[in-house]
């Protein structure tokens, strides 16, 4: 298991205020991937990539309503170094 997610979060938190004028001087409290998850059985991190899905539902009144939901697609490989998540 690679350490890319943790390393990138730390790097962004520590280096963004130094290297990017838009964030100059800010003290970033946290930087984290919103799709990161922890596998309870293996205690290893992985990454879920959000995917929005939409579908139509016809109510009893006959009116069509668009429903939306966001689901996570679990990455099998690290998007940064290519190592397979176990």
Binding site for Zn ion (CB under 5 A): 2, 4, 78, 80-81, 83
Is residue 9 within 8 A of residue 16, CB to CB? The reply is no
Question: DSSP label at 84?
Answer: B
| 28 vs 83, beta carbon nearer Zn ion | 83
| 24 vs 84, beta carbon nearer Zn ion | 84
The contacts of residue 13 (CB under 8 Å, 6+ apart) are: 28, 30, 31
Q: Could you tell me the smallest distance in angstroms from the CB atom of residue 6 to Zn ion? A: 10
Q: Could you tell me the smallest distance in angstroms from the CB atom of residue 46 to Zn ion? A: 11
Is residue 50 within 8 A of residue 34, CB to CB? The reply is yes
The token pair at 10 is 């730390």
| 25 vs 82, beta carbon nearer Zn ion | 82
Q: Could you tell me the smallest distance in angstroms from the CB atom of residue 61 to Zn ion? A: 50
């Amino acid at each position: 298991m690679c350490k890319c997610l943790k390393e990138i979060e730390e790097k962004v938190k520590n280096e963004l205020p130094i290297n990017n004028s838009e964030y100059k001087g800010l003290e970033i409290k946290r930087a984290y991937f919103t799709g990161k998850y922890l596998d309870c059985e293996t205690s290893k991190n992985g990454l879920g990539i959000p995917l929005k899905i939409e579908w139509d539902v016809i109510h009893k009144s006959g009116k069509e309503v668009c429903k939306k939901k966001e689901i996570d697609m679990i990455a099998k490989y690290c998007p940064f170094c290519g190592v397979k998540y176990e």
